[in-house]
Structure 1
Amino acid sequence: MGGASARADGPYNRVLIPNHDRAPERPPSDLLWDFAGETMGTTWAVTLVPPPGKTRETFQSAIEAELARIIALFSHWEPTSELARFNAAPEGFWAVSQPFWDLLNKAMDIADDTDGAVDPTLGALVDLWGFGPPGPRPLDSFGTAPSLPLDDEVAEARARSGWQSLRLNRQQRAVQQSGEMKLDLSGIAKGHAVDVVSERLHALGATSHLVEIGGELRGRGVKPDGRPWWTELQQAPGSPEPRTLVALFDLAVATSGDWVRGFETYGQRYSHTLNGRIGRPIDNGVASVTVLADTALYADAMATALTVMGPIEGPAFATAMKIAAAFVVRGDTGLTEIVTPAFQAMLDEGA
């Protein structure tokens, strides 16, 4: 999953203004503090307006503690994480922690809402296609390009996947492990981490801040000078649309792009975004989807879901759900953009 750049360089041509009609609170001070680091295989950055009496160390340690907690819960790359332990567990129902239960239930609700376009049970397929902890696809017999899974391998991994087959025991706060199920929450984990860090900063009195993890962002409040957190949207390479900035005032943004991560073999590129309905990387012409929403988790999840849905179902779903989304679609004449009415309304506010 990609996102937006937290820094905008040079001129821009389009501006999006949130139309939620909220009035910003007064920032807690006139200072701006920057923090940065690495987490979840990517980078993070925070800019905040500190309240009086708090030290930089307070915020640094709070941010790092929240990110470490997310990894300990949901990383499928960390063998001691709660998710990795569940994936390795034998058959049976296994009690999980409240934070794990809460996020898994949110993921299941989104899977239900999107008919599986976002599916937290695709770990076996993620591994098979070379995007999980086992590592990239092995090279073919010529040793020149990544090999592709056989049809029966895809079918076997699909048989071990599927959100509708995951059973939850709500009284025991337990999740059923069939002995073959592999959860993968990476489709929403970064967005969730952005929200968690944002909530922690707000609780510490930094009511004005911008949080970014791996290109997914959430802005709250405004800067000391009253200006919003301006963020340049990431665009697919070769996109025909002008550079676009959004005022992230109580708003989050995420972008899913087929160029962000993948591999190429024999002239065909395979994206890391998988369509669980067929067990294969997307191949529907969608180059990218950008979603603006109240929370980074929802923006993250919907960017993935709309990408999987494709250039017809995706815009129709987003329009019906009043999601602010922009699609960049590959076609015979090149790249074209499709925006939903909610996205267009933000453009109209910035015109």
Structure 2
Amino acid sequence: MQVYGISGVAQGTTYSIKYYSERELIKQQSIDSIFNVIDQSMSLYKAHSAINTFNKPTVLSMELDAHMLRVVEASFHYNKLTQGYFDITLYPLLQLWGFGPQGFGKLPLDHQIDSVKKLIGIDKIHLNGKVLTKQQSHVSIDLNGIAQGYTVDVVADYLTRSGLQSFLVEVGGEIYAKGLKSDNSAYKIEIQRPPGDQALNYKVMLKDMAITTSGSYEKYRTVNGQHYSHHMDPFKGDPVLNNVLSVTVIARTAMEADALDNYLMYLNPQEALSFVEKLPQVEAYIIYSENNTLKELQSSGFNNYIYNIQS
């Protein structure tokens, strides 16, 4: 059994795949083709992508391709699960605050926020079969909060259908691990920590599970000394301001972990853990600031995944 690797650039980030096999089974061209198809569906940076077509004011409804359909269906589910905080209609708000492809201009005024808030809310779109419809011409969607995790799952599914029993897929830090390595050990993943955090990094052992991390330090704007995160409050219309620095989620799929790590950034650490404890096969690890000190909390089962080098 040999280890094979593939790496490249896609979706504005890097990706890597490691798999164990008797022979080379996966070609980079096949992986890049998967990324290209998904980007043509859901990338806001591809001018002629399906999502950009839907976001045009002149388009009020559109039949979705298979990839976009699955992600939009999941988005409705996670919107309900998170009491409306996970919301794909936030795109106009993200643009207003400078987190869209157009970049940052200046801080929005209150009347601009109030105007854009009228376009926000999952009730502004409706899915009937494969057809997605919007209520108003300027309603637009952003699937970035879940599409990258979905991409990891699609690649993992392709590798499984190709006959692989042991592999690791990573796209922009979002990871899915299947099976065991050739020495029968689990894949070990180092958890991302906020910049400047001097604590030792945890490593977790993964088998047939996904792990993702979301942090307030990933995408932000600093204006007049104020730190503005890309995590938007759909109800208030402005960036979330709290003491949570990063959330790491372990779940059955990368799409599930991706959606949940975003939502947990909205909650205070105790609320976040209470939410996670009610979900099957989901664990979370949270780093937050309190009295200028970094602290951490983890869900009850998270410790089962931590790799102890002395064990």
Is TM (by shorter chain) over 0.5? yes
In angstroms, what is the RMSD of aligned CA positions? 1.9
Match status 1:205 vs 2:160: no
2:296 to 330, 333, 337: 337
2:112 to 127, 142, 153: 153
Aligned equivalent of 1:297: 255
Residues of 2 paired with 1:59 and 1:204: CA distance?
11
Deviates more, 1:307-316 or 1:272-281: 307-316
Alignment deviations for residues 31-59 of structure 1 (CA, whole Å, 9 cap, x no partner): 1111111111111111112354x55xx43
8 Å contact 1:238–1:335 — kept in the other structure? Answer: no
Give how far 1:348 is off.
9.4
Residues of 2 paired with 1:328 and 1:296: CA distance?
20
Alignment deviations for residues 42-79 of structure 1 (CA, whole Å, 9 cap, x no partner): 11111112354x55xx4312211111111011101111
Aligned equivalent of 2:58: 90
Provide the aligned length of Structure 1 versus Structure 2.
Answer: 308
Aligned equivalent of 1:67: 35
Residues of 1 paired with 2:100 and 2:190: CA distance?
30
8 Å contact 1:240–1:335 — kept in the other structure? Answer: no
Give how far 1:237 is off.
2.8
Alignment deviations for residues 126-161 of structure 1 (CA, whole Å, 9 cap, x no partner): 1111111222x22xxxxxxxx311111111221111
Instruction: Give the alignment's TM-score, normalised by structure 1.
Output: 0.83
Instruction: Give the alignment's TM-score, normalised by structure 2.
Output: 0.93
Residues of 2 paired with 1:287 and 1:279: CA distance?
20
Aligned residue type for 2:164: A
Unaligned runs of 5+ in 1: 1-29, 139-146
8 Å contact 1:319–1:341 — kept in the other structure? Answer: yes
Distance 1:295 1:349, change over 3 A: farther
2:287 to 322, 325, 328: 328
Aligned equivalent of 2:218: 260
Residues of 2 paired with 1:292 and 1:134: CA distance?
33
Distance 1:219 1:89, change over 3 A: same
Residues of 1 paired with 2:249 and 2:296: CA distance?
13
Aligned equivalent of 2:180: 222
Structure 1 segment 174-323 matched on structure 2, within 5 A: 174-177=131-134, 178-239=136-197, 241-322=199-280, 323=282
Match status 1:41 vs 2:12: yes
Deviates more, 1:115-124 or 1:315-324: 315-324
Match status 1:100 vs 2:68: yes
The 3-state SS of whatever aligns with 1:218 is strand
Identity %: 30
Give how far 1:166 is off.
1.6
Residues of 1 paired with 2:186 and 2:107: CA distance?
46
Of structures 1 and 2, the one with the larger relative CO (CA 8 A, separation 6+) is 1
Alignment deviations for residues 304-344 of structure 1 (CA, whole Å, 9 cap, x no partner): 01012233432221122253001111111411111111213
Residues of 2 paired with 1:212 and 1:348: CA distance?
19
8 Å contact 1:158–1:279 — kept in the other structure? Answer: yes
Distance 1:337 1:238, change over 3 A: farther
Residues of 2 paired with 1:309 and 1:153: CA distance?
26
8 Å contact 1:77–1:132 — kept in the other structure? Answer: no
Match status 1:78 vs 2:35: no
Deviates more, 1:180-189 or 1:327-336: 327-336
Residues of 2 paired with 1:60 and 1:89: CA distance?
37
Aligned equivalent of 1:116: 84
8 Å contact 2:5–2:16 — kept in the other structure? Answer: yes
Give how far 1:231 is off.
1.1
Give how far 1:86 is off.
0.3
Aligned residue type for 1:243: N
Aligned equivalent of 2:21: 50
